[in-house]
Structure 1
């Protein structure tokens, strides 16, 4: 499948190349979405660490006055709006004219394009000419109520559709039955993305009734629809009939302790690979009485319970379940601070996850005993690639406990130890491991907000950085409230950067460069002729 924001025609029949290619190129050029819009109140995005686009689509320059081109005058908002609407309509009419020349079109992605808003009715009646369409993405197009109605009619003539993405269109909420009315028994739909669509409880109930008809469904994402929490029982019943489901995302859906009954459906989801229940803060305490149906998820590879307010009882339940998920590759328990003092047994059982590649435990309020249990278990995780212990103060002064783990993790690519109260001894140990080649594949290292490290420690560490030949990002920023002068380590850091071909960003916020150091940095940038972003900004 092609990457997002592309449009492809994978088959060509009955159309000579010299006739169809210019038209296909035209559509590819003009229907490639601009950079996604920045997050707004109506379309909240996840914070740092998630996989979401936050750019702003480019806007066309305002037209100049026809009466006096030498003195351009800005159009009024009303006139500019009318002009844009007129251009949008003209543009879509051109697309409609091209559709008959693309009978074998299989993928159409016009996400993140505002011009679709209010104009989908122009395309919908012509969708029958691309009846072989398998992938349709209309994410963040600001669909209106009229667009939603037109889309429902259009889907009736696309029987081969396998992927439908309507995420970030809030007018979908309350109208889901109208849109998906064509999905009947035997539907070929495999992926259904409805992120942040303002779905209502009625929409959720309809989804529960629809799911049994979608026997080919493999990916279902209902994230950021908090109002469906009242119909989760209906959704759970529907999930019992979707045995082919591989990915289920219910991130930030308002799940509560009572909603945990949705786990009853898991005994039927024997093919599930990814389960995301993250950012449901009211879920904490609900796992205590939950059945152990997750034990049937033999193929589960990704489990995210980040920011779910897990309690000690929840941790006890999870301790029983984790050893049964032998194929787990990614585990995210971040931002569950109540589990810190009660997770010793849970963390010790991570040794039963031999294929684990990503372990995220940042901001879990781990204590010395739980950290020790974690360190002993991680020795048995040789395939670990991503390890995040940020915001766990107990790591400071105790990094030596992870010595054997770091020595036996040749695949480690990402190491995050931000705000861990690290001391000079910790970074000296890390530098020693780097120099001996144990961490040769590290690509991203985050040591930010560890203000207790002395300049001597930073110097030793920066001298070792040159051995991280695959490094792309390094962050040694100070806390927002702290400013310090760069020490003697800045020179060795620049020397290391000259030897690292992949590095792109060095975070060193609130480190104050002297005039000489600024000159050294400028000379380095000119001589290396590479774009390395040295982020040393901040406010004093």
Structure 2
């Protein structure tokens, strides 16, 4: 939902020159005031004196506009709005009309009281985010009691607020007062676990909720079953995130039954949910009903190992799937064989994460070669998969057919070292690559010299992040060649050439080449050089660079020699 903000600073209204614009501005202001303070207006209107120029009926508002004088209530309202604006400015926020974002503001209890006082002046509020503020816990009742004043609320985020059981109960009652709610985020609140029905029981058929995020809420198996029962009511649900709730795996059957009734679901995240080998088959029974699903995250469920051997074909039913995350799922050789048949059929796939599945290293040659059938692929994460020479060769050949690739992570695959030349053609042809990670790949001097030649030829022009860390075998001559060419990466923002934690070395003469190159890279802000030690002369050169160029670039190095 697009955020709609409106500056409430009174001085800006006064800057309008045209009398017509001024009248519209006053009318808007008074209408806002009338909505926020109806009871107060009625009392004040009864006390107003009737005169020949100001009749006692409703036409007195028109008379006010004719004379150009503000209502007495407006005079009282203006200081209140200025006070609200001061409160927001203190927190580094701007005055708003429909969006109040106080996420991670370090709110104290006094701040929360001020925020509660602010709500009556924001009757059109559609988004309220007070996530990552610990002091919200135990005080939510004071906020929920004002929910009837912000009944147009569409987004409510209360992530990591240390909600108590009493807070959870109060929230359950308050949700009934905001029927327009489309997004609810209660993530990282452990007291939600075991109490989920208290919160969501007010949801009725026809609920407008589209996004429900309950990450790491200590949900119980019973909570999972409740979600399964609730899903048929949430016909408009598009995003469901139950990640990091390890106990809901036991209620996956009930959850899958509910998923069959959520035909509009676009995102399903079950990261680290204690899913078992049988879970793939259980979930697969619902896939035929999830024709709109765009993102599926089953990552960090190590007990899924072997689960795709009998059930991976059901993934092919997700014709519109764009993101598939299976990292750290302990995929077996059998899983890889079945995925080899399915993944090429997901022609809309844009992001594929198979990282941290070390058992697939020797059996993924066919799978990686078939990535050529995914022309829309933008992100490929295959780091720490124990790739072997044959599998890396298959990957390199397939990568030539991935013109849209923007993120490529091969880190922690030792077979890349000495074989980067296999990727030469794809690197030469790449026009979209923005992130390239080759950390701990046992790269040698020849590899980095090859990379430098590709960069120097004007390739990889879109690259923004380059990670060459933990490749300690590259000699100073190799780093010198690289630093002389890195200046051609005009859009680079981050570069990491750090050494392993167990190693440290003096910077060679290449450091001066690096400083020279940085002056020609306008966007760079971060250079990782951990455990590279600067001799005094190079430290002085860095200080001169900082003084002369006055750029905010962080050199994270190992310090002085």
Radius of gyration: which is bigger? 2
Bigger shift: residues 9-18 or 233-242? 9-18
Q: Structure 1 residue 29: deviation in Å? A: 4.5
**Aligned match of 2:336:** 315
Determine which of 155, 171, 188 is the counterpart of 2:191: 171
State the number of aligned residues: 489
Return closer, same or farther for 1:440/1:13 CA change in 2, 3 Å cut-off: farther
Q: Please give the residue correspondences for 1:86-165 in structure 2 after superposition, counting only pairs within 5 Å.
A: 88=109, 91-165=111-185
Q: Structure 1 residue 200: deviation in Å? A: 0.4
**In 2, Cα distance between the equivalents of 1:346 and 1:12?**
63
Question: In the alignment, is the contact (CA less than 8 A) between 2:312 and 2:339 conserved in 1?
Answer: no
**In 2, Cα distance between the equivalents of 1:32 and 1:127?**
24
**In 2, Cα distance between the equivalents of 1:264 and 1:539?**
61
Bigger shift: residues 463-472 or 14-23? 14-23
Determine which of 473, 476, 485 is the counterpart of 1:452: 473
Question: In the alignment, is the contact (CA less than 8 A) between 2:353 and 2:381 conserved in 1?
Answer: yes
CA deviation string 1:13-35 (max 9, x = no partner): 821598485366356457789xx
Structure 1 residue runs of 4 or more that deviate by more than 6 Å after TM superposition: 6-13, 30-33
**In 2, Cα distance between the equivalents of 1:29 and 1:255?**
46
The answer on 1:287 being equivalent to 2:304 is: no
Query: Where in structure 2 are there 5+ consecutive unaligned residues?
Result: 9-27, 34-73, 94-102
Q: Structure 1 residue 186: deviation in Å? A: 0.7
Q: Please give the residue correspondences for 1:235-384 in structure 2 after superposition, counting only pairs within 5 Å.
A: 235-260=255-280, 261-384=282-405
Q: Which structure has more helix as a fraction of its residues?
A: 2
**Aligned match of 2:557:** 536
Question: In the alignment, is the contact (CA less than 8 A) between 2:495 and 2:526 conserved in 1?
Answer: yes
Question: In the alignment, is the contact (CA less than 8 A) between 2:238 and 2:264 conserved in 1?
Answer: yes
Query: Where in structure 1 are there 5+ consecutive unaligned residues?
Result: 34-54, 60-83
Question: In the alignment, is the contact (CA less than 8 A) between 2:268 and 2:297 conserved in 1?
Answer: yes
**Aligned match of 2:82:** 22
Question: In the alignment, is the contact (CA less than 8 A) between 1:7 and 1:109 conserved in 2?
Answer: no
Question: In the alignment, is the contact (CA less than 8 A) between 1:9 and 1:107 conserved in 2?
Answer: no
Return closer, same or farther for 1:24/1:191 CA change in 2, 3 Å cut-off: farther
What is the root-mean-square deviation in Å for CA atoms of aligned residues? 2.3
**Aligned match of 1:39:** none
Q: Structure 1 residue 214: deviation in Å? A: 0.4
**Aligned match of 1:487:** 508
Return closer, same or farther for 1:139/1:7 CA change in 2, 3 Å cut-off: farther
Return closer, same or farther for 1:429/1:362 CA change in 2, 3 Å cut-off: same
Q: Structure 1 residue 514: deviation in Å? A: 0.9
Classify the secondary structure of the residue corresponding to 2:198. helix
Using structure 2 for the length normalisation, give the TM-score: 0.83
**In 1, Cα distance between the equivalents of 2:139 and 2:355?**
43
Q: Please give the residue correspondences for 1:169-208 in structure 2 after superposition, counting only pairs within 5 Å.
A: 169-208=189-228
Question: In the alignment, is the contact (CA less than 8 A) between 1:32 and 1:109 conserved in 2?
Answer: no
**In 2, Cα distance between the equivalents of 1:229 and 1:539?**
52
